[in-house]
Amino acid sequence: AQKITQTQPGMFVQEKEAVTLDCTYDTSDQSYGLFWYKQPSSGEMIFLIYQGSYDEQNATEGRYSLNFQKARKSANLVISASQLGDSAMYFCAMLGAPSGYSTLTFGKGTMLLVSP
């Protein structure tokens, strides 16, 4: 079975600083994908970034980058130059092949608060 672990229930960062949100995963699949979503207080789930298990380079998307360490089974999200609007819940999720291509397994989430 797949498992996603987010060990930080909450994180604080000052505006304009960088922050790293941790995510470790456990899977026996050789092929899998890792996703990060942002959930503001409004409740919508916003897709941020994706990393495939065979991607050799770390994924980047604007201020978001994914620090993918396959041997350690970690896929940490790095947000550079934090903004007040980044305050939200962040979920790491994994997609695996044999256990169900079409569904994601989510971590418990990390609440990020950005202060002025």
Report the alpha-carbon distance of residue 69 to residue 11 in Å, rounded: 21
Q: Does 43 bind other proteins (CB under 8 A)?
A: yes
* Contact residues for 93 (Cβ-Cβ < 8 A; gap 6+): 4, 34, 35, 36, 37, 104, 105, 106, 107
Residues 57-116 contacting other proteins, CB under 8 A:
59, 61, 91, 95, 102-104, 106-109
Give the nearest distance from C-beta 13 to other proteins in angstroms. 21
Asked whether position 52 contacts other proteins by CB under 8 A, the answer is: yes
Which lies closer to other proteins via its Cβ, residue 19 or residue 49? 49
What is the total count of residues that contact other proteins (CB under 8 A)? 23
Nearest to other proteins of 74, 104 (CB atom): 104
Total residue count of the chain as it appears in this document: 116
Q: CB under 8 Å to 35, separation ≥6 — which residues? A: 47, 48, 49, 50, 92, 93, 94, 95, 104
Contact set with other proteins (CB under 8 A): 33, 35, 37, 42-47, 49-50, 52, 59, 61, 91, 95, 102-104, 106-109
